[in-house]
């Protein structure tokens, strides 16, 4: 029944927008997805697998794929890229050592044909931790200002409290409405 409804909604224009959550392991991807589901949006139903959730914000439906960030899994991120409208890149703002690795992964993703039209939301997570990098520092280290090929936005957040996540959902919504 749920499947049928989803299909009917797609036919009548209330379609789902595909979102992927990427980032290195331990960045906070799963915590953020959980916050989206419990705090800021209506959780409808878990779908295809435990790592895919549907999030409804007002009349906008996002199908959100939480993809593993371990090194072995990063090699297969590309297999999720097809039809993705928004990429959420979660950064652990306390992990200065691996920020360069995140930068490499980000620029590799942006160069991929299947993500040509995707918008990118960079979440500077773990802002509650003292001494964590600010969104501006992360933005500079990831050389976000050099990105002109994609629409992007950087947002400071804390997955534990949910701070910064409503603004993230608003930006995501504005992106899909704009297209």
- Conformational region of residue 103, where left means phi above 0, alpha means psi within -120 to 50, and beta covers everything else: alpha
Please give, one letter per residue, the 3-state secondary structure of the chain.
Answer: CHHHHHHHHHHCCCCEEEEEEECCCCCCHHHHHHHHHHHHCEEEEECCCCCEEEEEECCEEEEEEECCCCHHHHCCHHHHCCCEEEEEEEEECCCCCCHHHHHHHHHHHHCCHHHCCCEEEEEEECCCCCCCCCHHHHHHHCCHHHCCCCCEEEEECCCCCCCCHHHHHHHHHHHHHHC
The answer to whether 177 contacts ligand G3D (rule: CB under 6 A) is: no
Q: Provide the minimum distance between the beta carbon of 21 and ligand G3D in the complex, in angstroms, as a whole number.
A: 8
Q: Which is nearer to ligand G3D, 51 or 56 (CB)?
A: 51
Query: In the range 83-102, which residues lie near ligand G3D by CB under 6 A?
Result: 90
Catalytic, out of 70, 127, 140, 155 = 70
- The span from the CA of 24 to the CA of 13, in Å, is 34
Active site residue 35: no
Q: Which is nearer to ligand G3D, 33 or 119 (CB)?
A: 33
Q: Which is nearer to ligand G3D, 67 or 119 (CB)?
A: 67
Q: Which is nearer to ligand G3D, 85 or 92 (CB)?
A: 92
The answer to whether 142 contacts ligand G3D (rule: CB under 6 A) is: no
Query: In the range 18-77, which residues lie near ligand G3D by CB under 6 A?
Result: 23, 25-31, 69
The answer to whether 128 contacts ligand G3D (rule: CB under 6 A) is: yes
Q: Provide the minimum distance between the beta carbon of 58 and ligand G3D in the complex, in angstroms, as a whole number.
A: 25
Known catalytic residues are 70
Interface residue list for ligand G3D (CB under 6 A): 23, 25-31, 69, 90, 125-126, 128-129, 158-160
């Amino acid at each position: 029944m749920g499947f049928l409804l989803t299909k009917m909604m797609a036919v009548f224009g209330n379609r789902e927008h595909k979102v992927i959550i990427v980032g290195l392991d331990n960045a906070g991807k799963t915590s953020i997805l959980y916050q989206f589901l419990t705090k800021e949006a209506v959780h409808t139903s878990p779908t295809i697998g435990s790592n895919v959730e549907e999030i409804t914000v007002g009349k906008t439906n996002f199908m959100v794929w939480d993809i593993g960030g371990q090194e072995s899994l990063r090699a297969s991120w590309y297999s999720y890229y097809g039809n993705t409208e928004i990429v959420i890149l979660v950064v652990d703002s306390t992990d200065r050592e691996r920020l360069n690795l995140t930068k490499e992964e980000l620029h590799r993703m942006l160069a991929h044909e299947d993500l040509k039209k995707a918008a990118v939301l960079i979440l500077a997570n773990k802002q509650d931790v003292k001494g964590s990098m600010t969104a501006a520092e992360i933005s500079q280290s990831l050389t976000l200002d050099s990105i002109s090929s994609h629409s992007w936005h950087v947002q400071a957040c804390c997955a534990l409290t949910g701070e910064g996540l409503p603004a993230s959902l608003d930006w995501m919504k504005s992106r899909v409405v704009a297209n």
